[in-house]
């Protein structure tokens, strides 16, 4: 999630030539903000949105993909973070949030279980937890089969949520996660865990300071040391959610940069691999995930807000489009 400050941005030059081809999968009506995505084992893409209370699904394998409603969380105003704990069982953060003010009604954060049983089944929906003290829950990731981690962008902390008992506790607090201003300042944003032989590492972005950072974890998910900065966002861009490829390289949505940045693991090198700051091909990307089937495992799927917060500065002036699902073919990188 990018802070929707509609400040005037000058027309910026492209950071680098877009190397990878993009293919539009779906574009929603103007005013739609797709915030996050998760890929089901069958290849379908689940979509959360800050402009409705629904969880949506699209099949990218179809010639003309359309988005269908999976479930409407009628007690909430938006859906935001999503993560898979076991095959085809997902947890979705929903809340009574305002996109205009980036605030959430106290006590309205819920974590819902979305459990599919077959390829085309209607999932079973159940309430897994309520997080009453949260400020603004944003990105989510899986620690283990019973524990979901959620980033609180207002408080600059990470919650651990037990999906069996519903209990939530503050697991990590680090200065690199903090917002730079009082709410609605956005601190820690997207989060992902990378597994390693020497232990797990939590990677995260910070919307206020525009950093990509990491922190080592103990077995229980608590911090094993202080966070350190991996890199800073390119000029004219920020960082939202992100994912990793099989080599460990990160692919980050740059928000108002209208592009995807690749950050290699060793050595750390950052480059823009898709999109263009002055193009609506990837208009204000919010998240990214790789496909899970044999035919699309090297396809990076990207969600966007369509420039709803930060319009795309084109040669014809500022432009907004509908929220998008875009496929980026990464085979040219390997």
Residues of the chain predicted below pLDDT 50: 2-15, 17-18
| CB contact at 8 A, 137 and 91 | no
The helix (H) or strand (E) run that includes residue 189 is strand 188-194
**pLDDT tens digits, one per residue of 108-117:** 999 999 999 9
Arithmetic mean of pLDDT over the chain: 93
Tokens 């865990």 label which residue? 193
pLDDT given at position 186: 95
CB 125 within 8 A of CB 111: no
Calculate the CA 231 to chain-centre distance: 18
Identify the pLDDT of residue 219.
Answer: 94
* Token pair in block for residue 306: 């369509």
How confident is the model at residue 12, as a pLDDT? 34
C-alpha to C-alpha distance for 5 and 115, rounded to whole angstroms: 36
Q: pLDDT tens for residues 183-226?
A: 788 999 999 999 988 899 999 999 999 999 999 999 999 999 99
Complete domains list, the chain, with CATH: 22-333 (2.120.10.30)
CA separation for the pair 325, 10 (Å, rounded): 26
d(CA 1, CA 49): 10
The predicted pLDDT at position 1 comes to 59
């Amino acid at each position: 999630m990018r802070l929707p400050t509609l400040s005037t941005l000058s027309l910026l030059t492209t950071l680098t030539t877009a190397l990878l081809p993009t293919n539009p999968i779906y574009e929603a009506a103007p005013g739609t903000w797709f915030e996050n995505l998760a890929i089901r084992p069958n290849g379908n893409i689940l979509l959360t949105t800050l402009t409705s209370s629904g969880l949506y699904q699209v099949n990218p394998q179809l010639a003309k993909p359309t988005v269908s409603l999976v479930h409407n969380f009628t007690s909430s105003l938006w859906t935001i973070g999503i993560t898979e704990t076991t095959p085809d069982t997902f947890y979705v953060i929903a809340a009574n949030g305002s996109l205009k003010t980036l605030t959430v009604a106290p006590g309205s954060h819920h974590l819902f279980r979305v459990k599919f049983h077959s390829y085309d089944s209607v999932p079973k929906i159940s309430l897994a937890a309520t997080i009453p003290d949260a400020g603004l829950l944003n990105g989510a990731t899986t620690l283990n089969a019973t524990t979901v981690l959620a980033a609180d962008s207002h408080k600059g902390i990470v919650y651990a949520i037990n999906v069996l008992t519903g209990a939530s506790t503050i697991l990590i607090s680090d200065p690199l996660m903090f917002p730079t201003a009082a709410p609605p300042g956005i601190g820690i944003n997207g989060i992902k865990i990378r597994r390693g032989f020497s232990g797990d590492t939590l990677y995260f972005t910070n919307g206020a300071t525009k950093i990509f950072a990491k922190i080592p974890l103990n077995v229980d998910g608590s911090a094993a040391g202080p966070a350190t900065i991996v890199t800073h966002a390119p000029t004219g861009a920020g960082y939202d959610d992100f994912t990793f490829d099989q080599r460990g390289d990160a692919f980050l949505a740059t928000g108002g940069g209208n592009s995807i940045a690749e950050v290699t693991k060793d050595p750390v090198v950052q480059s823009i691999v898709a999109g263009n700051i002055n193009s609506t091909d990837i208009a204000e990307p919010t998240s990214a995930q790789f496909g899970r089937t044999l035919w699309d495992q090297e396809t990076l799927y990207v969600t966007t807000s369509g420039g709803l917060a930060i319009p795309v500065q084109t040669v014809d002036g500022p432009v907004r489009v509908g929220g998008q699902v875009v496929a980026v073919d990464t085979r040219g990188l390997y």
